[in-house]
Structure 1
Amino acid sequence: MANSVAEAIIGAVVLVSAAGFALYAGQTSGHGFGQSEIPLSAKFRDANGISVGTDVRVAGIKVGSITALSLDPQSYQAQVTFTVPATLQVPDDSDVKIASEGLLGGNFLSVTPGASETMLAAGDEITNTQGSIDLLNLLMRFGTGGGSK
């Protein structure tokens, strides 16, 4: 009888510890319980260098990630869907661009908030976009004189 009580206490301690660790890990990674996100979208002529899971940043700080990429059949542009925290107020005149971490770094989606008093709601689209700059292609053009006449 004493063994089963001790085993039950040890089991309860293990379960509480595991739940505490899961809660801590979720909150420190930005995916904690009770944190809601809203989806936003943007269209680009070229979505080269980004994929599902790519960071979304405001002022260099990660605030979300890309959740879907698709082709708009009417405009033939890349439709990018991403999430930001519901607590982040994004003005409707904000800009979004595909930015690079450096010459050899990866790309991310950079949101620059505008000055409008009207905020975007879940599912809204940011229309001010700029695609990524293909540095390798620019260097090859410069090196071969492909752009000058």
Structure 2
Amino acid sequence: MKQTNSQKFNLGLFIIIGTLLFIAAVYFIGQRQDMFKKTFTVSAFFQNVNGLQKGNNVRFAGINIGTVKDIVMINDSTIKIDMSIDEKIISHIKKDAIATIGSDGLVGNMIVNIVPGKGTKEAISNGDHISSYSKIGTDDILNTLNTSSENAAILTTDLLKITNNITKGKGTIGVLLNDTIMARDLKLTITNLKNVSYGASNSIEEINEILKELKTNDESVLGMLLNDTISGYKLKTIISHLETSSTQIDSVVRNINTVVTNFETSEGTYNYIVKDTSLVNSLKSTLEHINEGSDKFNQNMEALKHNFLTRGYFKKLERQEKKAANNTKE
């Protein structure tokens, strides 16, 4: 059966369209997988990739710059991720950049974000490794929330027990809340404390006023002593002199005590006069003899006054004494 020209045309058109679609598909898929771009490979190490897969995007400063080329399990705690990055972006990524794994939106695919560093180092090259930072995963957050909820439940149970005990009047707080007598006593105590503090405040104010008056009033003795430096200096001098005088008086008293001790312990005249009883008896006898002699002398003088030989002489003396007394009176 011979084909017609229209059938040949349709077959050729179908082949051409199919070929174009295949080329377009290969182009788009290759462009998505960076098959037609010159790329560099950069690696990073993580402990957990959080569901990252080959072909996921790699972003730098919010721009898609490549894809995840390979994910290799190094050991039980280290995973190596190879990233295929566009050559044009390599010059902007420094060796101090940091790679992190995140999600594209709330429920999007996992992606690798490269965070720029301080820019103080040189640009990365093909096959370099950059630092990584592992964020807290969803499972970790859920575990933390679960632990927090359990702790909150335990805390709520304990608080419920405490509030029940307080309501029943158990413990110090329960007694304070339920015992009206203690509450009144506590209220009275607080009132007394307020009164005492008020009185103390008034006393402090009065003391401050007294101190101010002492500082400004020079008429009182204390104010003069506090404010007058000259009087203070004089008072200091007087006290110094008193201290010197007391020292000298103490020295004199010691000397007197020494002299008295010497008097009492020595064998001199004082000790002889005070302690020698024979001398005292002799003095007493001498005084008695003197008194007897004086009496006899008086008797002899009376006898002479009445003797006819000396009586005229004594009468003459009496007349002279009377005359002198009269002259004195005039």
TM (norm. structure 2) is 0.36
Residues 45 and 132 in structure 2, CA contact (< 8 A), matched pair in contact too: yes
Per-residue deviation at 1:50? 0.6
Deviations 1:42-72 (A, max 9, x none): 0012122212112111122222111111122
Deviations 1:91-145 (A, max 9, x none): 111111001234433321001233135111111111x211242124313422332
**Aligned: 1:113 with 2:86:** no
Describe the shift of the 1:31–1:52 C-alpha distance in structure 2 as closer, same or farther (beyond 3 A).
Answer: closer
2:45 to 36, 43, 46: 43
Partner of 1:65: 67
Q: Which moves more between the two structures, 24-33 or 95-104?
A: 24-33
Partner of 2:126: 122
Partner of 1:81: 82
Q: Which moves more between the two structures, 48-57 or 19-28?
A: 19-28
Deviations 1:20-61 (A, max 9, x none): 666666269455775211111000121222121121111222
1:54 to 53, 56, 61: 56
Structure with greater strand percent: 1
1:139 to 137, 142, 147: 142
Describe the shift of the 1:35–1:20 C-alpha distance in structure 2 as closer, same or farther (beyond 3 A).
Answer: farther
- C-alpha RMSD of the superposition: 3.5
Q: Which moves more between the two structures, 129-138 or 116-125?
A: 129-138
Greater C-alpha Rg: 2
Q: Which moves more between the two structures, 24-33 or 92-101?
A: 24-33
Per-residue deviation at 1:87? 1.5
Per-residue deviation at 1:147? 8.1
Residues 61 and 116 in structure 2, CA contact (< 8 A), matched pair in contact too: no
Instruction: Work out the CA distance in 1 between the residues paired with 2:151 and 2:65.
Output: 38
Instruction: Work out the CA distance in 1 between the residues paired with 2:139 and 2:47.
Output: 18
Instruction: Work out the CA distance in 2 between the residues paired with 1:56 and 1:91.
Output: 16
Deviations 1:70-89 (A, max 9, x none): 1224x841111110011112
Residues 43 and 129 in structure 1, CA contact (< 8 A), matched pair in contact too: yes
| Aligned residue pair count | 145
Describe the shift of the 1:87–1:108 C-alpha distance in structure 2 as closer, same or farther (beyond 3 A).
Answer: same
Counterpart of 2:122, as a letter, is T
SS in 1 for 2:145: helix
SS in 1 for 2:146: helix
SS in 1 for 2:112: strand
Instruction: Work out the CA distance in 2 between the residues paired with 1:147 and 1:121.
Output: 50
* Mapping of residues 82-97 of structure 1, within 5 Å: 82-89=83-90, 90-97=93-100
Per-residue deviation at 1:16? 7.4
Q: Any gaps of 5 or more consecutive residues in structure 2?
A: 153-330
SS in 1 for 2:114: strand
2:107 to 95, 101, 104: 104
